[in-house]
Amino acid sequence: GRFIRIDDQCRTSMRGIFAIGDVTGEPMLAHRAMAQGEMVAEIVAGHKRSWDKRSIPAICFTDPELVTAGLSPDEAKRLGGEIKVGLFPFAANGRAMTKMSEDGFVRVVARADNHLVLGIQAVGQGVSELSTAFGLALEMGARLEDIAGTIHAHPTQGEGFQEAALKALGHALHV
């Protein structure tokens, strides 16, 4: 094919040869390549590591910005099992109001049985800044209750993340 096949340690089919970045396929993101390179360096140094791409945030630096990390609702449904989705509109967010950028939302996708967060998406002005929190939540295996129970500073757009988790749990405060 068009890309070099790698395993979960970025090893190719040739012994001692690793591949990282765009040559290994989607998603073609600089922060993905950097993380892969760091992991390979650790493996070469004798540490045990493996690659897990589920928490890589992807961002469109457009107006409005788009951020996605993990699975969309449709992708999560295709995996089987019931899901919960919480969507919080920025029209109800104090910081978005002060910036006069109330268009957009934060959405959280989680398993219905144990509330494990599977994916997070956001659309709106400045939402690229939320990508780190989204990646961290997925990487640490956060559940809806973890996000809902974390104190989010007010007024910030990050509160939308907490509100989306609360909405998925049936405890929305500001919608």
Catalytic residue among 47, 154, 171, 174: 154
Q: What is the pLDDT of residues 149-167, one digit of tens each?
A: 999 888 989 999 999 999 9
pLDDT tens digits, residue range 6-62?
A: 998 999 999 999 999 999 998 888 888 998 899 999 999 999 988 777 788 999 999
Asked if 7 and 84 sit in the same domain, the reply is no
Q: Are 100 and 93 in contact (CB under 8 A)?
A: no
Our answer to whether residue 47 is catalytic in this structure is no
- From residue 27, give the alpha-carbon distance in Å to each of 5, 80, 103, 135, 159: 14, 23, 27, 15, 28
Identify whether residues 59 and 140 lie together within a single domain: yes
Structure tokens at 142: 């956060």
**Domain limits at 105?**
55-168
Residues 41 and 61 in one domain: no
**151 in a structural domain:** yes
Give tens-digit pLDDT for 110-130. Answer: 999 999 999 999 999 999 999
One domain for residues 38 and 94 = no
Q: Say how far apart CA 170 and CA 172 lie, in whole Å.
A: 6
Q: What is the pLDDT of residue 24?
A: 92
Same domain, 69 and 25: no
Residues 111 and 32 in one domain: no
Question: pTM value?
Answer: 0.84
The alpha carbon dihedral of 75, 169, 131, 134 has a sign of negative
| Banded model confidence at residue 94, pLDDT cuts 50, 70, 90 | confident
